[in-house]
Amino acid sequence: MVLILTSTVTNRLRYISRLMLQQLYGLEIDFTVNPEEYDKYKGPKINYSNERTGSGLWIYPQRLLFETNIAETPVEADTVLQIPVIFRDTSGSGGFPFDPFAAGFYMVTRYEEYLGKNKDRHGRFSPKGSIAFTGNFLDKPVVNLWARSLVEELKKQDPSLPVVQPAFRFVSTIDIDHAYAYRYRGLKRTLGGSARSILKGHFRSFFERYMVIAGIKKDPYDTYDYIREVHERYHLKPIFFILFADYGKNDNNVRVTAKGFARLIRNIQKWARIGIHPSLRSHREPQKLEREIAGLYAATGRQVTRSRQHFLKFTLPRTFRQLISMGITEDYSMGYAAMPGFRAGIANPYCFFDLFKNEASILRIHPVALMDVSLKDYMHLNRKQGLDAIKNIIDEVRSVNGEFVNLWHNESLSGRAGWRGWREVFEETLAYATQNNT
């Protein structure tokens, strides 16, 4: 057991120390506010207080974990122990060179996002406004690295420290924003789409639409047999997040009342897991999310417990509170649309901590390391560059025994509209992520 001495055992300290030491390394921990009890303890220990006492690892604490409010907090990136860090110890204490608990808490709670700044055109927190981007460590799972540095110091006190890490895990996920390009869209939308094709001179898509509707040609977004075959090849069970929403400007999937859509969902459910992809409108109108979850439940006959936000748009803590109230226990939205990397600085699932309530929740966050659209449309990478970026992220996650979650779309595997050749990238991603797996 690791004993931690502190002036006050706060919810914040309890949460982050358990995440970094217990969840990531399997270490039992306990706390004390009594220096005499700390001095008498013969096992590995951490002095997380302002005063040096006895032996053990001394970490001079930042104020962050002893506060209950949210305020502008000066944060600068630096490099110590050959890893990027924040909250470097500048007190001259001679203890550990930075505060890994405050740093880890700042990252995984997304403290900087509560301040309401650095938004993109969709109202999402922009990666370029994050300390991870400005500090040049967005591509590193720094919380895992900080936890590792802590454990290495503890093992100096007790080389037989029983460390147990989770195994590397790969989770393949698919978003269905548009189940079909032409099918089940209703007469009004079909005629409107046809008119736009003619006005823009897209005669090929005009004729393709009616060939699909007539059953002469397969819908180009109907890539489900292919997706199934590839996942079965690598013995994977993907998660599909389905936009099950009424038509809107950015929520333009097929008609939710279409029998063919329900039939598709039931077929996917036979070989994959299902989650909700809340509409963009539900972000502003919470009552819509309740109807969308109820509709997906009716289509599947199973409780809906997984979710990923459409456009990866969420607002802290409102969005996650809303999901919890709807029975969602696992969310897969913690990633950036504009670029790959570790938005929360961590490569493992963790429980969402509500900074307004100052407490941990039951909602389990699964960080998303990269998305197909990020590579092609935001970063304008070619296929080779995209695959190299993917492999780099996988290597980072594998190096810390994390969980690698990637995000693809059924339509990006169609070979249309600039996606020609990206199927090969998808297949190589699955092959690379599953190699050496037992």
pLDDT tens by residue, 103-160: 999 999 999 999 988 899 899 999 999 999 999 999 999 999 999 999 999 999 999 9
Q: Say what the pTM is.
A: 0.95
Sign of the alpha-carbon torsion through 286, 318, 240, 391: positive
Is 278 domain-assigned? yes
Same domain for 124 and 175? no
User: How does pLDDT run across 277-293, given as a tens digit for each residue?
Assistant: 999 999 888 899 999 99
- Is the pLDDT at 187 greater than 70? The verdict is no
Is 214 domain-assigned? no
Share of the chain above pLDDT 70, in %: 97
Is 199 domain-assigned? no
- Is the pLDDT at 438 greater than 50? The verdict is no
Task: Give dist(CA 331, CA 110) in Å, integer.
Answer: 15
Same domain for 129 and 226? no
* Structural domains in the chain (count): 2
CA distances 204 to 60, 83, 194, 270, Å, are: 67, 53, 11, 35
User: How does pLDDT run across 50-76, given as a tens digit for each residue?
Assistant: 999 878 999 999 999 999 999 998 899
CATH code, domain with 428 = 3.20.20.370
Model confidence at 179, in pLDDT bands (50, 70, 90)? Answer: very high
User: How does pLDDT run across 366-394, given as a tens digit for each residue?
Assistant: 999 999 999 999 999 999 999 999 999 99
Q: 348 lies in which domain range?
A: 169-181+219-434
Is 164 domain-assigned? no
Model confidence at 207, in pLDDT bands (50, 70, 90)? Answer: low
- Is the pLDDT at 230 greater than 80? The verdict is yes
Task: Give dist(CA 369, CA 346) in Å, integer.
Answer: 10
Query: What value does the mean pLDDT of the chain take?
Result: 93
Task: Give dist(CA 112, CA 108) in Å, integer.
Answer: 10
